[in-house]
Amino acid sequence: MIIAYLAGIFLLSILLATVIIPRILFISYKKRLFDVPDSRKVHKTPIPRLGGLSFLPVILIALCSVTGIRYYTNHPVDMLWASDLFIQYLFLIVGLTLLYLVGVADDLVGVGYRYKFVIQILAALLFPLSGLWINDLGGLLGLHEIPAYIGMPLTVFLTVYITNAINLIDGIDGLASGLSCIALGLLIIVCALVGQWTHAFLAAATLGVVITFYYYNVFSVSGRKLFMGDAGSLTLGYILSFLVLHFWQKTQLWDPFTMNLNMVTVSTLLIPLLDVVRVFYSRVSEGRNPFTPDKNHIHHRLLRTGMKVRTVMITLLMLSLFFVVSNFILSFYINTTFMLLLDLAFWLTTHFIIRYFIMKHETATGRKWYKTYRNFFW
């Protein structure tokens, strides 16, 4: 019966998103609420960026409706988790609302990165306040149980980190939403396997609206295309951080480290997480503000190799799936530290390969330009 509820919340989310997103498109075109292209952006024509407005309402309606139906049919939420989950979900909704509102403001009129950063920190502080914080590293770097004065700040940092990573990777069609779909799909499976059905329901409600948005973002013809904007990316990042952090908290009723589930769930977000580190390091090493936007993200670098936008998106989604599958297999044989080291080694190797093809493509382009220039004048 519980699987039926899970499928129901997923389908309800898709249905609601299918109804709401076309209305957002209509309003965007009527009021001319567009994301205007500039030198840093990939798209060449104005496109609405309010797709993320649908995320929070759809998720809450689907999640709360199905949870209410469960109670009416005498299938209450997981009793072992009820006392803690109720408080955690209340604070989750508060944090989501804060980020959603600042995201809407940024999509409509623009908001400075400092103000957004402060709101992100306030929203992240709600997790430790609700009782959700990292209290064990599961053997990562040889560390296990950690005290609250380390775990709570670490939780806030990682929440802001993940939220920003999803925001910053949202640079080409289907990338942020596609990576989020992979992460949410795995989280549904893992949460269902360990009996955390409420978290599985949250992931399913989120996946339903994101898949629907993915269709409009990637496959829609001109006039029906839209971006998620900050309202969507901040909402997605906060929900993903909430779900992933549960696999870094050990309780009397729950030990996620027996199956290395902590690293398996993080593997779904490795591309945006590692890309943020590389980009911020590059900006700081050049003496620039790390929050200043540029065209140095991994999708920009792949575009410089000569790939088309759609090919770049598919390549990065396949790379994310590789991380997920390989880490899941490795979790049965090696510990989290070796798993992380292998992931980092593969990531560095990938960037050396990308750099090689960038140089090859730019050299070939330079030769082509020289021949054209010579033929024009001679």
Band (pLDDT 50/70/90 cuts) for residue 79 is low
HSE (side-chain half, CA atoms, 13 Å) at 297: 25
- Report yes or no: 57 and 20 within 8 Å, Cβ to Cβ: yes
Inform me whether the pLDDT recorded for 276 exceeds 70: yes
Inform me whether the pLDDT recorded for 39 exceeds 60: no
Q: pLDDT by residue (tens digit) across 80-94?
A: 455 678 899 999 999
Between 163 and 85, whose confidence is greater?
163
As a whole number of angstroms, the distance between CA 107 and CA 47 comes to: 12
Average pLDDT rounded to a whole number, residues 145-150: 94
Pick from 44-53, 76-85, 156-165, 345-354: least confident:
76-85
Which ranges of the chain would DSSP assign to H, the alpha helix?
2-31, 55-72, 79-108, 113-130, 148-168, 175-193, 197-218, 229-245, 261-266, 270-285, 298-304, 309-330, 336-377
Residue type at position 266: V
Pick from 140-144, 306-310, 344-348: least confident:
140-144
Average pLDDT rounded to a whole number, residues 209-229: 87
- Report yes or no: 253 and 178 within 8 Å, Cβ to Cβ: no
Average pLDDT rounded to a whole number, residues 43-56: 84
Please give the structure tokens belonging to residue 95: 């944090």
| Rg of the chain on CA atoms, in Å | 22
Average pLDDT rounded to a whole number, residues 9-22: 96
Q: Smallest Cα–Cα separation from 335: which of 274, 260, 236?
A: 260
Between 357 and 47, whose confidence is greater?
357
Band (pLDDT 50/70/90 cuts) for residue 38 is low
Residues belonging to the binding site for Mg(2+) are 167, 230
Total-model pTM: 0.92
Average pLDDT rounded to a whole number, residues 290-305: 86
Band (pLDDT 50/70/90 cuts) for residue 374 is very low
As a whole number of angstroms, the distance between CA 362 and CA 334 comes to: 40
Pick from 164-173, 248-257, 351-360: least confident:
248-257
Inform me whether the pLDDT recorded for 371 exceeds 70: no
pLDDT of residue 140: 87
Average pLDDT rounded to a whole number, residues 197-217: 95
Inform me whether the pLDDT recorded for 342 exceeds 60: yes
Inform me whether the pLDDT recorded for 24 exceeds 70: yes
Inform me whether the pLDDT recorded for 36 exceeds 50: yes
pLDDT of residue 242: 97
pLDDT of residue 365: 67
pLDDT of residue 343: 94
pLDDT of residue 67: 86
As a whole number of angstroms, the distance between CA 61 and CA 142 comes to: 42
Residues belonging to the binding site are 167, 230
Pick from 32-36, 195-199, 206-210: least confident:
32-36
As a whole number of angstroms, the distance between CA 208 and CA 228 comes to: 14
Average pLDDT rounded to a whole number, residues 226-234: 92
Band (pLDDT 50/70/90 cuts) for residue 223 is low
Question: Hey, where are the domains in the chain?
Answer: 2-270
As a whole number of angstroms, the distance between CA 180 and CA 6 comes to: 18
Band (pLDDT 50/70/90 cuts) for residue 370 is very low
Site of tokens 């759609």: 310
Band (pLDDT 50/70/90 cuts) for residue 376 is very low
Distant-in-sequence contacts of 328-336, Cβ < 8 A, 24+ apart:
328/264, 328/267, 331/259, 331/260, 331/261, 331/263, 331/264, 335/139, 335/260, 336/137, 336/138, 336/139, 336/140, 336/260, 336/262, 336/263
Say which residues have a Cβ less than 8 Å from residue 254's Cβ, sequence separation at least 6.
Answer: 194
Percent of the chain at pLDDT exceeding 90: 57
Say which residues have a Cβ less than 8 Å from residue 162's Cβ, sequence separation at least 6.
Answer: 237, 240, 241, 244, 269, 272, 273
Average pLDDT rounded to a whole number, residues 319-341: 91
- Report yes or no: 208 and 13 within 8 Å, Cβ to Cβ: yes
Between 223 and 289, whose confidence is greater?
289
Distant-in-sequence contacts of 350-357, Cβ < 8 A, 24+ apart:
350/319, 351/278, 351/298, 351/301, 354/298, 354/301, 354/302, 354/305, 355/301, 357/305, 357/306
What is the average pLDDT value for the chain, to the nearest integer?
Answer: 87
